[in-house]
């Protein structure tokens, strides 16, 4: 029997259908736990954080989201290392040098409408090889969709 998709069953941010009602945030924290405890998983940490934030932008301002997309692009397209990024994005990370906010308390922020081609539920965590491959793919697909959305 096929169950109709109930709203409670769907992530309001990335529109993923939640298997067993496990929210995306729970998967995300599980991933972060694996990353901090295993250097082989840690390699893609920067991509995990950016991609998750872009797909779950409830608390991001528009500038914050665009800045994260820009960072993701630098990593994926320009091949920037996390160390180089830390140098380059210091002004972005530092509050004093920023004239706009990354996050907002505005609960009326519009819910994103993008139907992502890949979501956090599709990441394999059985080993670090699969994990890194899937996180990179997830980041790449997400970035491509962002660029397409912004151009249209
Ligand atoms: Zn989600």
pLDDT at residue 109, as a whole number: 47
**Residue span of the structural domain in which 56 resides:** 13-105+115-151
Q: Is residue 121 part of a domain?
A: yes
> What confidence category does residue 114 fall into, taking pLDDT thresholds of 50, 70 and 90?
confident
Q: Is residue 87 part of a domain?
A: yes
Q: Can you give the pTM of this predicted structure?
A: 0.81
Q: Is residue 37 part of a domain?
A: yes
Q: Is residue 4 part of a domain?
A: no
The count of domains in the chain is 1
Q: Is residue 1 part of a domain?
A: no
Question: Three-state SS for 34?
Answer: helix
Task: Cite the DSSP H helix spans in the chain.
Answer: 24-37, 39-42, 45-55, 62-76, 82-88, 90-93, 128-151
Which residues have C-beta under 5 Å from ligand 1, the single-atom ion? 11, 13-14, 16, 24
Q: Is residue 27 part of a domain?
A: yes
Q: What spacing in Å lies between the alpha carbon of 3 and ligand 1's midpoint?
A: 20
Q: Is residue 95 part of a domain?
A: yes
Q: Is residue 6 part of a domain?
A: no
């Amino acid at each position: 029997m096929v169950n109709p998709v109930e709203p409670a069953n769907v992530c309001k941010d990335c529109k993923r259908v939640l298997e067993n009602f496990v929210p995306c945030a729970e998967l995300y924290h599980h991933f972060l736990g694996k990353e901090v405890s295993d250097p082989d998983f840690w390699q893609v940490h920067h991509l995990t954080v950016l991609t998750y934030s872009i797909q779950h932008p409830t608390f991001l301002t528009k500038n914050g989201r665009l800045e994260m997309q820009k960072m993701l692009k630098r990593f994926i397209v320009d091949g920037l290392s996390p160390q180089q990024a830390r140098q380059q994005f210091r002004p972005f990370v530092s509050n004093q040098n920023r004239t706009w906010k990354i996050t907002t308390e505005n609960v009326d922020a519009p819910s994103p409408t993008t139907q992502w081609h890949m979501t956090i539920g599709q990441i394999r965590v059985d080993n670090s090889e699969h994990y890194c491959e899937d996180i990179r793919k997830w980041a790449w697909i997400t970035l491509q969709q962002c660029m397409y959305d912004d151009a249209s």
